[in-house]
């Protein structure tokens, strides 16, 4: 089953949105397989956002993501990578639709509440950066029969 890396960013944690965000993915039918509240070390932040190294906002981005605790998660489900991106909404909250997480809770691109992997390759890479294999839990739920 497909897995993705999702993370409530420091603004989402400070704004008490962990429960709201977890709840949305649970209700959708996805399964939580790993989660932890953590502070991101500088080096991990730079690796995680490595694709944006040359962008003018890279420094601010790393500073922001290390500015307070984040809630890192791995979720599992059919098409969870793309579906989670849809549920998150557009990167810039000025474009994200109501009903999406960023559309409902974020106002600026610099503080847009949530991170989600954008492809199978980035999901694998990001899960590997943030979680050890033994931190991910494989289990089945009876309700899966009513989703799949």
- Binding partner at 141 among ligand DAT, Mg ion, none, C-beta below 5 to 8 Å by kind: none
86 three-state secondary structure:
helix
Q: Is 115 a catalytic residue?
A: yes
To ligand DAT, the closest distance from the beta carbon of 21 in angstroms equals 14
The answer to whether residue 109 forms part of the interface with ligand DAT (CB under 6 A) is: yes
Helix boundaries (H) for the chain: 10-14, 18-28, 42-48, 58-65, 80-88, 101-105, 120-130
Counts for the chain of helices (H) and strands (E), in that order: 7, 4
The verdict on whether residue 85 carries a ligand-binding annotation is yes
Q: Which does 57 bind (CB under 5 to 8 A by kind): ligand DAT, Mg ion, none?
A: ligand DAT
Pick the catalytic residue: 115, 116, 127, 130? 115
Compute the distance between CA of residue 131 and CA of residue 56 in angstroms, rounded to an integer: 29
CB of 52 to ligand DAT, least distance (A): 6
112: partner contacted, choices ligand DAT, Mg ion, none (Cβ within 5-8 A by kind): ligand DAT
Q: CA–CA separation, 5 vs 34, rounded Å?
A: 9
Residue ranges for the binding site for ATP?
Answer: 9, 57, 85, 91, 102, 112
């Amino acid at each position: 089953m497909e897995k993705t890396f999702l993370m409530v960013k420091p603004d989402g944690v400070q704004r008490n949105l962990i429960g709201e965000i977890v709840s949305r993915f649970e209700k959708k039918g996805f399964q939580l397989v790993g989660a932890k509240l953590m502070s991101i070390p500088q080096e991990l932040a730079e690796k995680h956002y490595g694709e944006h190294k040359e962008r003018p906002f890279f420094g601010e981005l790393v500073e922001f993501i290390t500015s307070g605790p984040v809630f890192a998660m791995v979720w599992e489900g059919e098409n969870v990578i793309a579906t989670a991106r849809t549920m998150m909404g557009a990167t810039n909250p000025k474009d994200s639709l109501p009903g999406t997480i960023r559309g409902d809770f974020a106002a600026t691109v610099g503080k847009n509440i949530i991170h989600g992997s954008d492809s199978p390759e980035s999901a694998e890479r990001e899960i590997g950066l943030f979680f050890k294999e033994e931190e991910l839990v494989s289990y089945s739920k009876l309700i899966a029969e009513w989703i799949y």
